[in-house]
Amino acid sequence: MIQALFLMGGLGVIIGIVLAFASKIFYVYVDPLVEKIEGALPGANCGGCGLPGCSANAEAIAKGKASPDSCVAGGDDLAGMIAAILGVSVEAKEPDFAFPGCTYNNEEAETKYIYNGLTDCRAASLISGGVKVCHIGCLGLGSCVKACKFGALSMGPDGLPKVDKTRCIGCGACEKACPKSIINLSSVTRRIIREYTTNNCTTPCQRACPAGIDIREYIQHISMGDYSKAVQVIKERNPFPTVIGRICPRPCEQDCRRQLVDEPVAINFLKRYAADYEYENGKRSQPFKAPETGRKIAVIGGGVEGLSTAFFSARLGHSPTIFEATDKLGGLLRSAIARNRLPLHVLDWDIEGVLDMGVTAQTNKSLGKDFTISSLLNQGYESVFTASGGWDNRLARSAGKVVESLVPGMFLMIDLNRNLINPNMLDMKSGAVIVGGGELVIDAIKNCKSLGASKITVFIRESGLDLTLLKTMKESGATVILNSGITRLLGKGDHLKEVEYMDLRSQKKEIVPTGAIFMAAGRFPELIFMKPEAEKDADSGNGSQTDDTWQAFENYKKPFTNGQEKGLLSQEDVITDFSAAIRAIGSGRRAAATIHQAIYKIELFVHENVIGSQTIVQNVDHLENVKPAPRQIMPLAEESDAVEIELGFTEDMARKEAERCLKCGVICYKKSDFPMAS
């Protein structure tokens, strides 16, 4: 009996020791933050957040991979509760909706999909690509419909998915289920920020448009007589439809597929017709905007780019203010274009539309005279964007001999070489930087020396330079850095302190101290100024700062896949004012997107598969079964002193011209109504 007791006791001790070791080995740590968040979640495990249950969502929220309001079964109160646990605040959020991006179904396609009994889009895509010609087209098997847990999707009679926005909660389940990226989440913010990629069913004209307007869509609305909707579609990417409809160089028409049969569609004249319809009716058709964020943005310069940046910033929910040095907004559009091509009342109408979106403007306010970039940042503006132009802008204001340093410590090299710069305007004890330039750099180096520069650094984007010129630069006392581009400026108050540059080959970045920078190009670069995040006053919550330090960087350029677009004065930067207003509009949208993403510290939606001018995209080289149809001719005024030379289309002309549109996709297009040739 005693032996049995000792045996049982010994076994108990051994088991206890084993369990103690096991608890150490197999111990599972539960993050208390995750535990708190999961305790606040309703436990519905509905999957509406796009994750497998509330536990996974709680972990994603704690790691910052999901937002406090990601639970669709909760609501604003729950989002506020989770935000309080995280120690953050929740801003108003616009809704996301699923958006199908294909216009032709399997029945209308010439080359049919081969399914071999498969009923799931993902399986068909993995086995055979799902389609023999168009690598983007919708497979039409309805995997997205099956993935939707809220009954918001159905397959329409045309074999394409249809979205019920009253039921869609923007969970993204359909987006994840689609192997072709046909259906994606869409919102105002997403449409402004995202670029077109090779996964999108873009048209040749859309790819050629510097602003990326959905040309196929607005022409379709014109053909149906819905001109207000057409204007709304245009303004998704272009806040100046009435202006651009008169002065655009029309690169879209050069790529119009219709010219393979007869003549390109009169795309720009159709834009003008829809915009004139809005003007004549006096009722604006504005695109949607995101909820107010309370974020203040300052835009320096009231030209096309500045106005466009402010317009898209307002649509993103921010509160932009434009500061314009003259008494009128419009920039070179107001002074450099003949009035019989662009009447002032047309320009003013579009500018009023920008202000109507929620943009504030202050005229007769000059940077450096009435305010500084540092003072704006200290007034609560979270970002300051400079779209001030350059030499040609000064000539338009009859200020060619007035030296301007709109960016702290930054000057035009033309002013330096014309000996217009007063030494009192500079602080070059830490050195001077010259960006770009050819033989004129030699004179610039000598002038920098005479102004007291302790060290002179010349940045050249090219990897090679004339050896004689390079030798002369070095003998003049300058350090020359080839194959480089400046990526960031750093300063304090009204003084430039450092520049960051990148070796374009290795992508390595270095810092160079400097008090002045001279631009060989005849303009100031477009720069975004913000306070360094580490120095923000956490108690203020409104972007005010504890000191005057700032950093400046450029907005992302029209993306290419070769990676050579980084740094000031790249091939995608302009060296004079924009060659076309439509390009300035595109740059303004990208600036607004960059500012938005910098404020929220979210990754730029610029990927390797973004479509650029060098991107190879599926296309066609001939059309079949398309009847020729004559292009409508723009009526001209008979009087030489007419208000406008071009009179615009009539409604009948616009409808006929819109019918000429082939409603293209990547390789699909609308054929004429007669039997296919055998």
**H or E element, residue 24:** helix 2-25
pLDDT tier for residue 313 given thresholds of 50, 70 and 90: very high
pLDDT of res. 205: 94
Q: What are the two backbone dihedrals, phi and then psi, of residue 63, each rounded to the nearest 5 degrees?
A: -85, 0
Is the per-residue pLDDT at 634 higher than 70?
Answer: yes
Q: List pLDDT tens digits, range 224-253.
A: 999 999 999 999 999 999 999 999 999 999
Q: pLDDT band at residue 11, thresholds of 50, 70 and 90? A: low
pLDDT of residue 545: 45
Confidence at residue 643, expressed as pLDDT on a 0 to 100 scale: 87
Instruction: Say whether pLDDT at 348 is over 60.
Output: yes
Compute the distance between CA of residue 286 and CA of residue 222 in angstroms, rounded to an integer: 16
Check residue 259 and report its DSSP letter: G
pLDDT tens readout for residues 525-557: 889 999 987 544 444 444 444 578 999 988 876
Q: Which stretch of 130-144, 168-182, 613-627 has the lowest confidence by average pLDDT?
A: 130-144
Domain 40-90, CATH homologous superfamily name and number: Electron transport complex subunit B, putative Fe-S cluster (1.10.15.40)
Q: What are the b/e assignments for 436-451, b being 16+ CB within 10 Å?
A: bbeeebbbbbbbbbeb
DSSP 550: E
pLDDT number for residue 577: 47
Left (φ > 0), alpha (ψ -120 to 50) or beta: where does 391 sit?
Answer: alpha
CB-CB contact of 89 with 83 (8 Å): yes
Bigger pLDDT: 307 vs 162: 307
State in words which class domain 204-286+621-659 has: mainly alpha
Greater confidence, 126 or 106?
Answer: 126
- CB-side exposure of 77: number of CA atoms within 13 Å? 4
pLDDT of residue 678: 37
Q: Is 64 left (phi over 0), alpha (psi -120 to 50) or beta?
A: left
Q: What is the pLDDT of residue 393?
A: 62
Say if residue 509 is exposed, middle or buried (CB neighbours under 10 Å; 0-12, 13-18, 19+).
exposed
Question: What's the token pair of residue 660?
Answer: 């000429």
Contacts of 367-372 with C-beta under 8 Å, sequence gap 24+, read: 367/300, 367/323, 367/325, 367/406, 368/404, 368/405, 368/406, 370/323, 371/323, 372/408, 372/494
Tokens, residue 303: 């030209």
User: Which pLDDT belongs to residue 611?
Assistant: 80
**Quick one: pLDDT band at residue 676, thresholds 50, 70, 90?**
very low
Question: For residue 483, is pLDDT > 90?
Answer: no
Q: In what order do the strands lie in the sheet with 456-459?
A: 410-412, 516-519, 432-435, 456-459, 478-481
pLDDT at 85 over 50: yes
DSSP 405-456: --STTEEEHHHHHTT---GGG---TT-EEEES-STHHHHHHHHHHHTT-S-E
d(CA 171, CA 95): 10
Q: Which residue has the tokens 């549109």?
A: 661
Burial class (CB in 10 A: 0-12, 13-18, 19+), 276: buried
Cβ–Cβ < 8 Å for 171, 47: yes
Query: Is 596 in contact with 188 (CB distance < 8 Å)?
Result: no
Quick: pLDDT tens for 350-375. Answer: 999 999 999 999 999 988 889 999 99
Most confident of 38-52, 76-90, 519-533, 552-566: 519-533
| Per-residue pLDDT tens digits for 402-431 | 666 678 888 888 888 888 877 777 888 889
Residue 354 neighbours by CB under 8 Å, 6+ apart: 239, 307, 308, 310, 311
High-pLDDT (> 90) share of the chain, %:
36
**What pLDDT was estimated at residue 543?**
46
Tell me the pTM.
0.81
Mean pLDDT rounded to a whole number for the chain: 81
CATH of domain 97-186: 3.30.70.20
Range(s) of the chain covered by CATH 1.10.1060.10: 204-286+621-659
Residue 94 is predicted with a pLDDT of: 57
Lowest mean pLDDT segment, chosen from 57-61, 299-303, 319-323, 619-623: 57-61
pLDDT band at 596 (very low <50, low <70, confident <90, very high): very high
User: What does the pLDDT average to over 595-624?
Assistant: 78
Displacement of CA 443 from its chain's centroid (Å): 39
For the chain, residues classed under CATH 3.30.70.20 are 97-186
